[in-house]
Structure 1
């Protein structure tokens, strides 16, 4: 069965927005980024997805330059519903801006899609080049100590109704955990279990020491580090590694 034809890329991006609404008034993670975006005159959102963060910023009064970059064509098509924001299809490593932004962001754990050291190095180099001296790069990655992937299993399936009224079930299932990389599938199905779509993803779980070494190598200085969205410190119980790094 061609599951992508059954549940298309456009369906999947609409579903993402339904399950992950951007609202700084309700979500501490969104409020954290919104505060930084509001204070920056020019913002590059790397891995912008459907553009929800930049949409919100423009709708709520940001008058500066907002740019979204993402390799997912279907997500960008949804993002481009707003024409007063710049949108570019591509990966972070392929970006060619030079000293044009005050702030770069990677939200929604997008940093974890950079699986190899080479992926991280090339992406950090391009992001640093895009920032003005003193510009900041902020992102989060799940702390490996929290072992978030252990909850990604069919027993934690979610039932919901999508934007066009279809009753659906969503679950994740881990295939492999090796060298800090977790590979898993996400399945969208009908309530009776009929599979409509499978997507396979690999995410890297970096520890603080490795992450900071890669940032320093790329010419970033860690300005702030948090273990939660209320700006608490990283502790043995932290589920997140939230970083604000500055272009030195």
Structure 2
């Protein structure tokens, strides 16, 4: 199990929880949570990803919702809401970010936690990614992943990623936004939220702007449950 997965699973210790994974992709973390006896909901805008997710060993016990993070609606309130795989970075403008944070805030149970990560913009990601070949573990299989950067300018990266499965190759064209820690915390505050920890890696080391690749935000609860989240326009965004 990779470090990120171990980190996310550790968030659910202490008994059964209601968990929402916004941008769940193929449902790896959702399936692991469900195997641990948790009540799990996975949301993603990709019908193809959700089709794969439903075939997971515990897929039939998970509620799958096809939607963007900004559009998610449920009567449920969740003890834990996560955005994994840097899904936060597909929110490409302030309206999309604030709309998603409003959805998260609305669906967070009293005493619940929000956890998401974003890549540190101080790192030269273009140099690291362009023409890169990686291996990732998917359902126990080693899958080759290749990535080519189309453009990288003013905090936005546009790139293509190919996942080379034995039966097929999935091609994903993506655009990501790289915000600083200060910018993200400003958006949280505008949404009535506040991080009580920002880690620089999956071992919970404090964030170091010069060296850390990750910015992992842990937001324990709303600051003021009576205040209203800001009104924002809702726009669609695809997850990668």
What's the TM-score once normalised by structure 2's chain length?
A: 0.80
Of 176, 179, 189 in structure 2, the residue corresponding to residue 203 of structure 1 is 176
Unaligned 5+ segments in structure 1 are 1-22, 190-195
The 1:169/1:79 distance shift into structure 2, 3 A limit, reads closer
SS where residue 136 of structure 1 aligns?
Answer: strand
| C-alpha RMSD over aligned residues | 2.8
The 1:65/1:150 distance shift into structure 2, 3 A limit, reads same
Of 200, 222, 238 in structure 2, the residue corresponding to residue 227 of structure 1 is 200
Corresponding residue for 2:107? Answer: 130
1:37 aligns with 2:9: no
Question: Could you list the per-position Cα deviations for residues 6-63 of structure 1 after superposition, in whole angstroms to 9, with x for gaps in the alignment?
Answer: xxxxxxxxxxxxxxxxx2xxx221111101123461110000111111111222x32x
Shift of 1:226: 0.5
Paired residue total: 214
Normalized per residue, the structure richer in helix is 1
The separation in 1 between residues aligned to 2:100 and 2:51, in whole angstroms, is 23
The separation in 2 between residues aligned to 1:136 and 1:99, in whole angstroms, is 15
1:184 aligns with 2:159: yes
Is the contact made by 1:112 and 1:141 (CA closer than 8 Å) also made in structure 2? yes
Corresponding residue for 1:171? Answer: 146
Higher relative contact order (CA 8 A, sep 6+): 2
Task: Tell which structure's C-alpha radius of gyration is larger.
Answer: 1
What's the TM-score once normalised by structure 1's chain length?
A: 0.77
Unaligned 5+ segments in structure 2 are 224-240
Shift of 1:198: 4.5
